[in-house]
Amino acid sequence: MLGNYRREYLPGGRWELRTVATERLISAAMNPEQIAQLIRAALPEAQVRVESDDNTHFAARVVSREFTGKRSIARHQLIYKALGERMGREIHALSIEALTPEESGQS
């Protein structure tokens, strides 16, 4: 802690200074709609449904043409990238069902 700032080590070897107020916002619980909005921002044409019973453990169903030709791990990585640092913080666990429209029966 450096005065009103805290130094945070981020993935990729970066450091970031955060204010106490920013830290409070980051650690605030998220709801399913907020998570769905983050995913939609990264995959604008996707159909996204996120559910949770406790706002820390979530289940997401994402249907997107962006997943065409990608393996499951690559699909999940796109979703994790959309959520960024929130994974492991506000989002303790996320179950992902990532499908193409054809796989979901929506083609």
Query: Which of residues 76 and 92 earns the better pLDDT score?
Result: 76
Give mean pLDDT, residues 10-29. Answer: 60
Q: Where are the domains of the chain?
A: 1-28, 31-104
pLDDT per residue as tens digits for the range 52-67:
998 888 999 999 999 9
Name residues whose C-beta falls within 8 Å of residue 38's C-beta, 6 or more positions apart in sequence.
Answer: 82, 83, 84, 86
| pTM passes above 0.75 | no
> Does position 36 have pLDDT exceeding 60, yes or no?
yes
The matching CATH number, chosen from 3.40.50.1220, 3.30.300.90, 3.50.50.60, 3.90.45.10, for 31-104 is 3.30.300.90
- Residue 1's pLDDT is 47
Cα–Cα dist 104/96, whole Å: 14
